[in-house]
Structure 1
Amino acid sequence: MSFGLSKRSMDRLQGVHPRLVAVVREASALTPVDFMITEGVRTRARQAALVRAGASRTMASRHLTGHAVDVAALVDGQVRWDWPLYPRIAAAFKAAAARQGTAIVWGGDWSTLRDGPHFELDRKAFP
C-alpha cells in the first residue's frame, strides 16, 4: 500500500533539510503504516519547554537545525502510539534512506530514551 503526505505534514516539513524531506516523502510511499509529520523545525523556546516537561533531555536537538522530524502513526485516520507500529514505519524510512544514500538515525534504535517517532540525519554525515 502506498500513502502520501497531507498538506499539514508538508507544511510541518518547512525548513527541514531537503535530504531528510526527500527521505520522508519516499518513506510515505513505502510504508505499510500510514504516518503524519508531527514536528520538524523547533524553536529554542519549544525545545526548552520539552526539556522542562521531560519529553526531551537536550537543548542540542536536531530539530533546532532542521535535521530531524517526528512522526505519528495513523491507523484508520487516528493517531496511534502503539510501539509495534513504529519499527514498521522505521523500516520504510531506512529503506528510503538507503536507496537515496542518505545516512539517518532512528530514535527507536537508541539504547536510552528510545524515541520511536523520531528520525534525524546522521550527525557524522550531516554535522
Structure 2
Amino acid sequence: MSFRLSARSRTRMAGLHPDLVRVIEGAIAITPVDFTISEGLRKPARQAELVKAGASRTLNSRHLTGHAVDVAAWIGGTLRWDWPLYPRIAGAFKQAAIDLDVPLVWGGDWPRLRDGPHFELCRKTYP
C-alpha cells in the first residue's frame, strides 16, 4: 500500500533539513501505516510551551534547527496514538534512512522517555 503526504503535512515540513525531508518522503511511500506530520520546525517559544506542559524535557530540541519531525498515525481519517502503530511507522522511516544513507534516530528506541512519534537526524552526522 502506498500513501501520500497531504498538503498540510508538506506545509509542516517547511524548514526541515533536506535529508530529513527525503527520509519522510521515502517512508510515506513504503509505510504499512499512514501518517501525517504533526510538527517539524519549532520556534523557541513553542518549545518552551512544550517543556512547561511536560511534553518535552529540553529547550535544546532538534526541532529548533529543523533536524527533527514528529508524526501521527492517520487511520481512517483519525489521529491515533496507539503504541503498536509507531514501530510499524518507524520501520518505514528506518528503511528509507538506510536506502538513502541518512543516519536517523527514532525516539521509540530511547531507553528513557520513549517518544514513538519522534524522528531526528543523528547528531554525530548532523550537528
Q: TM-score, normalised by structure 1?
A: 0.99
Which amino acid is 1:73 matched to? Answer: A
Which deviations, in whole Å up to 9, do the C-alpha atoms of 1:6-60 show, x marking residues without a partner?
Answer: 0000000000000000000110000000000000000000000000000000011
Give the match for residue 124 of structure 1: 124
- What are the ranges of 5 or more consecutive residues in structure 1 without an aligned counterpart? none
TM-score, normalization: structure 2? 0.99
CA distance in 1, matches of 2:42, 2:74: 22
**Structure 1: 4+ residue segments shifted above 6 A:** none
Q: Would you say 1:67 and 2:63 are equivalent positions?
A: no
Q: Which residue of 2 aligns with 1:57?
A: 57
How many residues of Structure 1 are paired with residues of Structure 2 in the alignment? 127
Q: CA shift at 1:61, angstroms?
A: 0.2
C-alpha separation in 2, matches of 1:28 and 1:106: 16
Gaps (5+ residues) in structure 2? none
Give the fraction of aligned pairs with identical amino acids, expressed as a percent.
67
Cα distance in 1 for residues equivalent to 2:104 and 2:60? 17
**Which residue does 1:24 correspond to in 2?**
24
Q: How many angstroms does 1:79 deviate by?
A: 0.4
Distance 1:87 1:46 in 2: 27
- Where do residues 1-127 of structure 1 align in structure 2 (5 Å cutoff)? 1-127=1-127
The Cα shift of 1:77 comes to 1.4
Shift of 1:124: 0.6
Cα-Cα RMSD: 0.3
CA deviation digits over 1:70-116, x for unaligned, max 9?
Answer: 00001111100000000000000000000000000000000101000
**Paired letter, 2:104:** I
Structure 2 counterpart of 1:126, one-letter code? Y
